[in-house]
Amino acid sequence: MLTLLSVLHRMKLLTPVGVFRLLFVICGYGINLMGLLKLAASSHRHLVALSDDRETLTYQQLLDQSECLAVQLREQYGLGSRSKAGLLCRNHASLVKSIFALSMTGADIYLMNAEMSSDEFAQLLDAHAFDFLIYDEEFTAVIEQSSYTGASVLSYHEHFPAISNLMHVPIKGRSRGHRNSDSKLMLLTGGTTGRAKKVAHKPSMFHYLPPFSSMLKRLRLLRYKTVYIATPIYHGYGIAILLLFVALGKKSVITDKFQAEHACQLVREHQAEVITVVPLMIDKMLRASNAEGDLKSLACIASGGAELNPRLAEEVSARLGEVLYNLYGTSEAGLSIIATPQDLDAASGTIGKLIEGVGLKVLDGSMNEAAAGEIGQFCVTSGPTWIKTGDMGYRDERGFFYLKGRVDDMIVSAGENVYPSELEHILLQHPFIEDAAVVGVPDELFGQRLKAVVQVKVGTELDAETLIEWLRPRAARYQMPREIVFVDELDYTPLGKVDRKQLH
């Protein structure tokens, strides 16, 4: 069984030399993400650590540039313990270097959604009072139109101060080293209210190793060399995979924005064995490429962040083999549930089984554990209390978990609790339907009923009356939609989830 000791052994930390390196790093750097990078560089100095659209860096180069950057951030901008640094960036090397450098200064690192609106950014400023901002040039208008008056620096620029040129400023004397263990990683994620909530993670190498051991075992990541991180690093899913592959001395490939054709090219060019995606991404890649050729190197497609359509899982299996894994996690608890390809074959629609050591239960309205098959809310432990995730679902007798949507997705129709995802799953079984989404709408007689938004496959025809007749023997009375709307294409958020606000 893969354990924490196995991970430490894989990182070469259980040998006398490894123990010495670990103690040296802790004494010189403290317990922070830069220490994690230093450990990786000590064993994998000349191996490629990171490749993006602009540059390719070995572990030693990434370490040296991140250390130089940490000194400049500390000396030029006064960053240190209790400083708050906000990062509004897409996936690129400057973002990665900034994360490591800020960790070394002791500043708290706030990863912001690069797709946020000006109003959402203003809310974050009011809530967190940043001392420093690092941002991509495309977000200049968002920054300038806000009330922010503190120090800031661009991620890339040829002439203005930017992360890309700060790291090349010479370091005076022996100012490089600065031990610090105060930094925290803040994931800013939308809660059930729609407002961003802050979830703090202590970026310690010891904090991340235990959950990584379960991920390594289920996804068999130790055997692979290269990961393409297609999901945003500002999302907990993306940063977790990045840190995992750094800890193992592997190669990570990133790109500013996801485009299906370019993503297929990157997989082929780097012969990536692992890719992190949301379901919409892999769906687009299958349609944009000769998947059997472009994607043949993939041995692990790690899908998360949104619900996985069982039909998509079947298509991936048919075209690429048993390579698809379904992951479920929360910002509060991190990765909690994994479905292997074998799990997806055995239980269609499952998000998998709990990983070892995760305190997650399905609780009913009275906060008691729900029986097998009974729908409740996913809750995670935080000391003696339970934190509600906002996700509804159930666990079957075999230990497989299933999602039924968010708490605020559920409607009450004529006294029945109705979950839109149940009707979505039925609709997606229709041979002419490419995609479908369902939301609740007001109804004078029933209080609420369902509205279905349907995308029909190219070359087929379907009307509402025909679809209603097809649904009658397959859906319960309270699941039948009050209206059906046909669209050319469904709207999705940048994170690959159906944009339900647009549906309403």
Looking only at the bridges linking them, the beta strands covering 84-88 and 132-135 are: parallel
Phi, psi (rounded to 5 degrees) for 88: -115, 80
Residue 40: name the closest of 108, 100, 124 by CA: 100
CA gap 272, 303 in Å, rounded: 15
**Interatomic CA distance for residues 487 and 455, integer angstroms:** 5
Give CA separation, 433 vs 355, 419, 462, in Å: 34, 20, 8
Kindly tell me the burial class for residue 80, based on how many C-beta atoms sit within 10 Å of its own C-beta (0-12, 13-18, 19 or more).
middle
The ranges assigned to domains in the chain are 31-171+182-203, 206-358, 359-409, 411-503
pLDDT tops 70 at residue 245? yes
- Taking only the tens place, the pLDDT of each residue in 308-338 is 988 999 999 999 999 999 999 876 667 889 9
DSSP state of 183: -
Tell me which of 65-79, 195-209, 370-384 is least confident: 195-209
The strand order across the sheet containing 334-339 reads: 56-58, 48-51, 251-253, 226-229, 274-277, 300-303, 324-330, 334-339, 353-354
Q: According to the per-residue pLDDT averaged within each range, which of 92-96, 155-159, 312-316, 408-412 is highest?
A: 92-96
Mean pLDDT lowest among 142-151, 232-241, 291-300 = 232-241
pLDDT band at 61 (very low <50, low <70, confident <90, very high): very high
If DSSP codes are grouped into helix, strand and coil, which group holds residue 329? Answer: strand
Question: DSSP string of 391-449?
Answer: EEEEE-TTS-EEEEEEGGG-EEETTEEE-HHHHHHHHTTSTTEEEEEEEEEEETTTEEE
pLDDT for 488-499, tens place per residue? Answer: 999 988 778 888
Chain mean pLDDT for the chain: 87
Mean pLDDT value across residues 167-196: 61
| Confidence at 204, pLDDT banded by 50, 70, 90 | very low
Residue 200: predicted pLDDT: 52
Q: What is the 3-state secondary structure (H, E, C) of 44-93?
A: HCCCEEEECCCCEEEHHHHHHHHHHHHHHHHHHHCCCCCCEEEEECCCCH
Query: Fold identical between 359-409 and 411-503?
Result: no
Which residue blocks in 145-204 are alpha helix, DSSP H? 163-166
CATH number of this structure's domain 411-503, picked from the four choices 2.60.15.10, 3.30.300.30, 3.20.20.70, 1.20.1290.10: 3.30.300.30
| Cα atoms in the 13 Å half-sphere on the side-chain side of 42 | 19
**pLDDT of 4 higher than 60:** no
3-state secondary structure of 338: strand
Name the nearest CA neighbour of 253 among 10, 50, 14.
50
pLDDT per residue as tens digits for the range 380-416 = 886 678 889 999 999 999 999 999 989 989 999 988 8
pLDDT band at 192 (very low <50, low <70, confident <90, very high): very low
DSSP string for residues in 242-285: HHHHHHTT-EEE--SS--HHHHHHHHHHHT-SEEEE-HHHHHHH
pLDDT of 193: 39
Query: Spelled out in words, what is the top-level CATH class assigned to the domain 206-358?
Result: alpha beta
In CATH terms, 359-409 corresponds, of 3.90.1570.10, 3.30.565.10, 1.10.10.10, 2.30.38.10, to 2.30.38.10
Mean pLDDT of 11-34: 56
Distance CA(41)–CA(46), nearest Å, equals: 8
Asked if residues 462 and 454 have their Cβ atoms less than 8 Å apart, the reply is: yes
Q: pLDDT-derived band of residue 194, with 50, 70 and 90 as boundaries?
A: very low
* Beta-bridge mates of residue 369: 363
pLDDT category at 198 given cuts 50, 70, 90 is: low
Does residue 201 carry a pLDDT above 60? no
Is pLDDT above 90 for 27? no
- One of 3.40.470.10, 3.40.50.12780, 2.30.30.90, 3.30.420.40 is the CATH number of 31-171+182-203, namely 3.40.50.12780
Q: How confident is the model at residue 19 (pLDDT cuts 50, 70, 90)?
A: very low
**What percent of the chain lies above the pLDDT cut of 70?**
86
| 173 SS3 class | coil
pLDDT exceeds 60 at position 66: yes
pLDDT of residue 386: 87
